[in-house]
A = this chain, B = another copy of it.
Amino acid sequence: MINIAILGLGKIGSGVAELIEKNDTLICRELQERLNVKYILDLRDFAGTPYESKVVHDIGIIAKDPEIDIVCEMMGGTKPAFEYSLECLRAGKNVITSNKEVVASFGNLLCDAARDNKVRYMYEASVGGGIPLIRTIKTAYAGIAIKEISGILNGTTNYILTQMIKEDKTLEEALKEAQELGYAEADPSADINADDTCRKICILAALCFGRLVSTSMVSCSGIRCIKLSDTEIAAKFGAAIKLVASAKLFDNGKIDIRVSPCLVTRNNPIRNADGVYNAVNISASTVGDVTLVGQGAGKFPTAGAVLSDIIDVAKHIKTGQPVQELMECADEEEICDEYTTNCMYYAAVKQDKEKVLDDFSGAEILYADGEITAFVCPDISRQTFEYLLSAGGYDVLSSLRAI
């Protein structure tokens, strides 16, 4: 029997407890052993529920119990989640988390502690919910250099933008609806301002490139700037507007990491991930592009990701865990400047396409109807793009990064 402690019996924590019970037969077949939830640490007592007898309020009981092999931290926030995780790792417990805030802020320290104590710190559930992103990067791309990772990492904003582009709703209307459906929090700022997405791309970049970028170093803008007119124009030529996070490694070792609303062109496979779905594209020069699409959040998709980490760790309990991968912290100088680093930019202007093609070398026209010309420049800096729009006297109807 493998004993587990769950820290925080909220939506994800209770999902994990339920999955362990419901999938007992499958888990036993996989592990040739049973998983047992021995402790639940929570502020509440859950009196009268089956969880009552397992509840403890002191992390020390869990950390000191030699029977506990795995601690699942599903608390949210960094306090006391970080301290509790560190204490458990130092006590020789494997720690599994769904808490992106802790991983993005302290992942380097927790990975260090795990390696030092010959256990593992696992965080599949912190990014992409039911999409096996982290495991794919760690295992399928082991020994393969990833060049770029980009995608839609927040279901709430994707739902809102989908409603704007497909149903002509304003951001305010779509947000209200998302709140009514339980997709958005009462305080939606972490989603709308893209803080949530920013933490996730920092975690993915750390895995892909071995360096943890502080969220404060990321050029990050949310979706408040997106107007119905932006989505209306994009819809004319089959493009979409999505909140896109991306991280790219240049040959000189510098990382271009950004979060912003983007025009997603028709050919990009993340274009079709609508509603609460997430979609991530992984590019490696040797093996080509792979896109993963799925439900990026929700009780059971996320709990399923935690369970996959539990089983991975449980399989190694007798033989010893594989060596924990580390994250070094990235320095400010390793991060590209958003204004001067080339990427793809998009604009829709009132001028005709002949003028656009004259002014922007390499521009590709996406749409032109005599009144609107929409185009992308595939390799230009924001600085140059904005300068050319301004110097050319353009009437800009919409302008965004593109992908």
Contact = CB atoms under 8 A, between A and B. Distances in A.
A357 interface: no
A286 interface: yes
Instruction: Indicate how many identical chains form the complex.
Output: 2
A304 interface: yes
A132 B140 contact: yes
B143 A30 contact: yes
B288 A290 contact: no
Contact of A315 (B136, B141, B322): B322
A308 B132 contact: no
A287 B315 contact: no
B293 A269 contact: yes
A312 interface: yes
B298 A288 contact: yes
A19 B284 CA distance: 13
Contacts of A124: 140
Contacts of A30: 142-143
A85 to B, nearest CB: 23
A162 to B, nearest CB: 13
17 contacts: A26-B144, A30-B142, A30-B143, A132-B140, A135-B139, A141-B304, A144-B307, A269-B273, A286-B300, A286-B304, A287-B300, A288-B301, A289-B295, A290-B294, A290-B295, A293-B293, A319-B320
Given A130-B287, A143-B311, A286-B301, 6 more contacts: A131-B290, A132-B136, A140-B305, A142-B307, A271-B272, A290-B295
